[in-house]
Every structure is written in C-alpha cells, then in structure tokens.
Structure 1
Amino acid sequence: MTLRRRTPWRRLAALLLALSAMPGGAAAQDPCADHIPQARPQNASRDIVGQDIDAIQERGYITIAVYEDFPPYSWMEEGEPTGIDVDIARLIADSLGVEARIKLVDAAETLDADLRNNIWQGPVTGGGVSNIMMRVPYDARFACRVEQVVFTGQYAAEEIAIAYGLSEYPEDPPTPPYFRFDTVAVENDSIADFYLGAFPGGQLRDQVRRHPTMAEAMASLNAGEVMAAMGPRAQLEYHADPAETGVHVPPLPGFAVGRWELGVGIHFAYRPLAYAVDDAIWAALDDGRIAAIHAAYGVTHLPPNR
C-alpha cells in the first residue's frame, strides 16, 4: 500500500471549508462572539520554559519551523534549507540579532495539530517546539479557537489561480467552465480539487487530473499532458515555464475563500517576542525586502491585509 503524503494545502483546504461554513450574524462583526473559552491545556512540554525574547537573544539563536518539501516556500537543497519562508525566517532572526535555526517539519492532519506539535506542546514522540512557525494562515475566527498561539506577523497573501498553456489558449485564458471539455491538473484533496469537483452538476469531474503534489500537477502541464492547472498562485508561478505558460486569477463563482493571509505563530506566553517579530516583518514589508525575496523565486508577492 502506498501512503499518501500530507501537504499543508490538504489540511488548509479542510480548514477553509470549515470556516466558510461557519454562521454569520454577530460573528461578522465580532469573530469571537460565539466562542467558548477552552479549558487550560495540561501537560505542555517543559522545553518551552525560558524561551522568551531575552533568553533567545542571550543564547544567540532562534528556532523557526517551516514545512518540509514545499517549494517555493521551504525545502532542502544541497543539504541546506531554502525557499521564501526560510529567507523570511532568516530576516526575522537578523532583526533580533540572533542565528536562525531552521526546522523542517511535516504537515499534520490539521492546522490545530501543526500548531500544537510545533508551538505550544510538542509532538507525542521526539522533537520539541519551535519559537516561531512560518506560513500560518490567519483567520480571526480560527484565532479565537486556538488560544495557546499568538497569530501575528502577516507577511503575504495567497490566492487560487489557473496556469495554462499559451499555445492552448492563444486569445482568452481559461475559467472553470472551460474544464467541462479541457483537461486541468490539481493537487489531490486540495482547495482547487474540492472546488472543481463540487462545480454544479459535477460538470468538470471527468476532466480533472489529480496528482500527489502541486509540483507534479505543474510538471504534467509543462509536459503538455493537460491544458491547464489550478492551485495556489505562488506554486503555479514557481513551477511554470514562463515562455510557454500563463498564470491568471479568474472569477471563481461560488468560491467562499479564494484568498487568505499568511503570517507566523508564536506561543501565547511570549508576547514581547511576538511584538518584536511583527515589527521585523512590518519593516521588511515597508522597505521591500519581503517583496524582493518573493521576486527572487519568480513569485508575485501579494501584500497582506494587516
């Protein structure tokens, strides 16, 4: 039996679908209006003790968790962590005057579990928490539910887009209704997969080609095996052949959450660290360093709503 590798986009799809189904009303004005405070967590890992900003600067390094095997955001290349999130993590560490120690971590079944394993409690077996976790989606309703984490430092946004072969669409780029007849590649169990599969009447299902990762979906487009691919814009741009491929953001009727903000997660007990990290990110957004990091990987930086 082949085990299906979890990717952050799979559990993000489940989170966004759940959030889009939450009732409106009072929550539209106060996202925490219907929240019931959680019981105080027990048996948290002892290794979080003493990791405030003063202790971090005294010891000279900060631990930062990023997702493994997740280009263009974070992956290993020639034995070294690389990617957009890795470069931003190092920028944060430089601002604090310490070394960045990057930890590449696997994605758990849910975002809640990622934060529990990497920020406020630690995994069940082996390893420990990190001071910061990168690429944490920000939603005010979700932030109310996870009281053990400070959600801050929004440094980019992500949105769903379509990559397409320029030779296949020489005039107008495709929109989802095109995929009644044209083939489109997606990452299996991703937001794009769920959206296309749920298109009214199941009209698009026969033309959807599912792949284990977005990189493989884009490889099939670059090889001419499909006419288009749908997924997060940054991944499409990074893996696209710019001479042969266009990328655009079409209207997505019925898509509840097609864009989301990305920031960092920090243990709730260390607010001064959270403030310092947010200041570092704000400064790097203001002077263009974060946009330049994205450009270095051939990716458009979408400024976050902060």
Structure 2
Amino acid sequence: MKKLIMSLLTSALVLSMAACGKAPASGNAEQNGDFTTAVAGKLTMATNAAFPPYEYVEGGQITGIDAEIAAAIAEKLGLELQIDDMEFDSITETVKGGKADIGLAGMTVTPDRQEEVDFTVSYATGIQVVIVTEDSTITSVDDLFADNASHVIGVQRNTTGDIFATDDIESEGKGTVDRYSKGADAVQALKTGKVDCVIIDNEPAKAFVAEVEGLKILDTEYAVEDYAAAMSKENPALYEAVNTALQELIDDGTIQGIIDKYINAN
C-alpha cells in the first residue's frame, strides 16, 4: 500500500512538473498552453489596408509588406493569420484591448504609443516626406517652418505625420493641420487645392504620386523613424513568442526579402 501511494504521488508530481514546463511555440494557444491569442489557433493582425506597399487591398485580399511579415510570424508559431482592416487610429486600442494580437500598419515607435502598447524589435525604417503639387511654392521642408509660414497641411489622422505636423508646425503657429482617415484622402485634398502639402511615409507617397498626376515629393526628408509591431502589455507570453519569431525572420533574411520584393518594385 505504501509503495502504491508513493507511486501515485510520484506520478502526480511528474505530471505537475510537466504542466509547468514550457511547451514548444508551435500549434495554437489552446494546444500548447504557452501563450493565448485573441482567437484560438489564429494570429489576429489589426491594420489599415490603405498604406501601400505595407498594406493594401488587391483582388479583394489584403496584401503588402506587413501582411507577408505577419503571415511569416504566424507560420513560425503554428497559427493561421487573420487580418482585420480598420481605421488607423483604432489599431492601438484594438491591440491594447486584446481584440487583436498585433498591430502592423507601418506603425512608428513613439513615446506616447509606448505608454499604451509594447513594440517588437523594429523590422523596417520609415521616412516621412512632403508631397506638393508640381507648381507649389513649397520647395523644401524648411519652407514649412519659415517665420511667415501659414500652410494647410494634410495628414492621415493619428499617424506620425499628424503628430509631427501638430507638434512642429501647428503648435508653433506656422500652419494648420487637416486630418483625414486615409492617406489617399489627404492626397486628393492636395490635388483639389484644399491643402498645400501632405506629410506621409515615403513608400506610400511614391505610390500616390505615381497614381495622381501633377504631384511630386520634395527632395528633403521630414523625419526618419522605426517601424515595429504593436502588442498588448497584458500578454507577455505572446509578445515574447512573436518578438522571438520576428527576430529570427530578420536574422535569416526573410524580412529583408519581403521588403525588397515590394520596395524595389516601386
């Protein structure tokens, strides 16, 4: 009887230790017990699919750099990728509230955003540029900061273009900022004369200028910044899994390959 009791206790201890051990990062959250996701078996990506070449709709499907990066991360974690398209300024709250696992939308790491969400390692460098009409009197970024400047600047709401223009220009009384839900709407406002310029990321800027006649990008850069994936502060196990997977994809050249596929084509 004593031997039987000891055997049962030993078996219970082994099972308990196994349950506390860390499972491999493959399979869905319900199976491996290592991390949880918003939807079991899926990696849910929140994005704004109007930001080519990082995310855009083609043939009814969301594609682009961020979509392919998310798919590569999901594959490493043994998950199915689900992409939820929404307004850009809803992404942070959606991730923070646990309704999406990652926010990938050409999102720049900023101090204010870091108070709301955690960011993974940076996977790309972004450049903020200024789009103007070909006959614009704005010939360089410096013109936006001139003593007598009073330009109307178009931006996509809550992007770093919005943040920079608000902090650097509007708050200094050197112009006003018109905010749009999509970068394309801001560009259209420029084309129709409602704004004097648009501040936006370089790659989408190139795509917009290629599509809309009469526009150009100023030679001088407005700002350089780092892109990363936004994640909830309340799910450290998932953050660790995603961040590790992303770093591995950076190290083996997968991420650069995805970026080159889209950037070089533009």
State the TM-score bracket (shorter-chain normalisation). 0.5 to 0.7
State how 1:1-306 maps to structure 2 within 5 Å: 53-56=25-28, 62-72=42-52, 73-94=54-75, 99-107=80-88, 111=92, 113-117=93-97, 122=98, 128-130=99-101, 132-135=102-105, 136-138=107-109, 151-168=119-136, 172-173=139-140, 175-177=143-145, 180=149, 184-187=153-156, 190-194=162-166, 195-199=168-172, 202-205=173-176, 209-223=178-192, 226-241=195-210, 244-248=214-218, 250=220, 258-266=223-231, 267-270=235-238, 271-284=240-253, 287-296=256-265, 298=266
Query: What corresponds to 1:39 in structure 2?
Result: none
Counterpart residue type for residue 101 of structure 1: Q
Deviation at 1:260, TM superposition (A): 2.9
Deviation at 1:218, TM superposition (A): 0.8
What's the TM-score once normalised by structure 2's chain length?
Answer: 0.63
Deviation at 1:182, TM superposition (A): 5.5
The total of aligned residue pairs comes to 224
Cα pair 1:61 1:98 within 8 Å, conserved: yes
Deviation at 1:241, TM superposition (A): 3.3
Separation in structure 1 between the aligned mates of residue 58 and residue 23 of structure 2, nearest angstrom: 29
% identical aligned pairs = 17
Secondary structure in 2 aligned to 1:138?
Answer: coil
Larger Rg: 2
For structure 1, the residue ranges without an aligned partner over 5 or more in a row are 1-49, 123-127, 253-257, 299-306
Separation in structure 2 between the aligned mates of residue 77 and residue 225 of structure 1, nearest angstrom: 29
What's the TM-score once normalised by structure 1's chain length?
Answer: 0.56
Cα pair 2:44 2:82 within 8 Å, conserved: yes
Counterpart residue type for residue 151 of structure 1: F
Deviation at 1:268, TM superposition (A): 0.9
Separation in structure 1 between the aligned mates of residue 103 and residue 23 of structure 2, nearest angstrom: 14
Q: CA RMSD in A?
A: 4.1
Separation in structure 2 between the aligned mates of residue 187 and residue 141 of structure 1, nearest angstrom: 17
